């Protein structure tokens, strides 16, 4: 199977300006994903999907390929990941490159490592079904409620008197890794609905979304890649 890793990095972030190239421990954010994809050994091509020439140059500096830019139409605030992915696959086809498997790596997950990508890919190959990375939640949903007019409705219809240590674990999509069979992708594809879950430790599941996330402590066993250090 030919594997294409896509790192979507549009330039129009409004919450944090230029978030995808903002330094995280002195390294451009998207460089972590590029490095992990390259080091995983499972990707035939690592492509940064961006609408910016500046972003493209930074991506190339760290080893990614950027044979074309993302269109303005697929780089809007309202654009979905699948929009730029289908567009990119079509452009790759036009230059004579075709792939069987997509590994989607959000640049906002800098703590996802080459090991995680490699293990997730092994799991995908084992099950031959689309995959999403997950991590255990801190707040168990048995204690969660919705409310209307101060009336509480449990999220789970079950008794919540169970001891916390006896509760079964629950997981959330952490956004770090998605792996899909390319031939089944459509405009209706929802990566969060992929049926196979690859479990990552919570401390590696950082999703950078706001300013404070850029000062998030590194996991104890996390080592900054030597060739990325400035």
User: Domains of the chain: which residue ranges?
Assistant: 3-136+172-228
- pLDDT for 167 beyond 90: no
Indicate whether 78 pLDDT > 80.
no
CB 147 within 8 A of CB 153: yes
Mean pLDDT of 20-26: 95
Average pLDDT for 181-196: 97
Q: In this prediction, what percent of the chain has a pLDDT beyond 90?
A: 79
User: Which of 69-78, 82-91, 148-157, 173-182 shows the lowest per-residue confidence on average (mean pLDDT)?
Assistant: 69-78
Q: Which residue has the tokens 């030919």?
A: 2
Beta strands 145-148; 45-49: pairing state: unpaired
Does the structure show a pLDDT above 60 at 226?
yes
Q: E-assigned strands of the chain? A: 3-8, 23-24, 27-28, 45-49, 101-104, 131-136, 145-148, 151-154, 171-181, 196-199
Token reading at 150 = 């101060």
Q: What local confidence, expressed as pLDDT, does residue 230 receive?
A: 46
The 10s digit of each residue's pLDDT in 93-121 is: 999 999 999 999 999 999 999 999 999 99
- Residue 50 and residue 171: Cα distance in Å, rounded? 31
Q: Determine the Cα–Cα distance for residues 8 and 140; give it in Å rounded to an integer.
A: 31
Please give the CATH topology (third level) of the domain spanning 3-136+172-228.
Answer: Spore Coat Polysaccharide Biosynthesis Protein SpsA; Chain A (3.90.550)
Q: How far apart are CA 101 and CA 122, in angstroms?
A: 13
């Amino acid at each position: 199977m030919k594997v294409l890793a896509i790192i979507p990095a549009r330039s129009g972030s409004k919450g944090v300006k230029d978030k995808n190239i903002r330094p995280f421990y002195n390294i451009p954010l998207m460089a972590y994903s590029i490095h992990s994809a390259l080091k995983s050994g499972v990707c035939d091509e690592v492509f940064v999907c961006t609408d910016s020439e500046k972003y493209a140059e930074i991506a190339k500096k760290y080893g990614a390929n950027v044979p074309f830019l993302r269109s303005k139409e697929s780089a809007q605030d309202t654009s979905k990941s699948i929009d730029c992915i289908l567009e990119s696959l079509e452009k790759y086809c036009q230059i004579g490159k075709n792939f069987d498997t997509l590994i989607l790596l959000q640049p906002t997950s800098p703590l996802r490592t080459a090991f995680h990508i490699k293990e997730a890919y092994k799991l995908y190959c084992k099950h031959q079904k689309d995959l999403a990375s997950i991590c255990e939640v801190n707040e168990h949903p048995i204690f969660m409620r919705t409310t209307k007019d101060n009336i509480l409705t449990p999220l789970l219809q079950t008794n919540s008197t169970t001891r916390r240590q006896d509760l079964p674990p629950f997981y959330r999509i952490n956004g770090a890794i998605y792996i899909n069979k390319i031939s089944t992708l459509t405009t209706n594809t929802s990566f969060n609905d992929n049926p196979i879950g690859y479990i990552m430790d919570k401390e590696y599941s950082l999703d950078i979304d706001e300013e404070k996330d850029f000062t998030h402590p590194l996991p104890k066993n996390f080592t900054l890649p030597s060739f990325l250090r400035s």
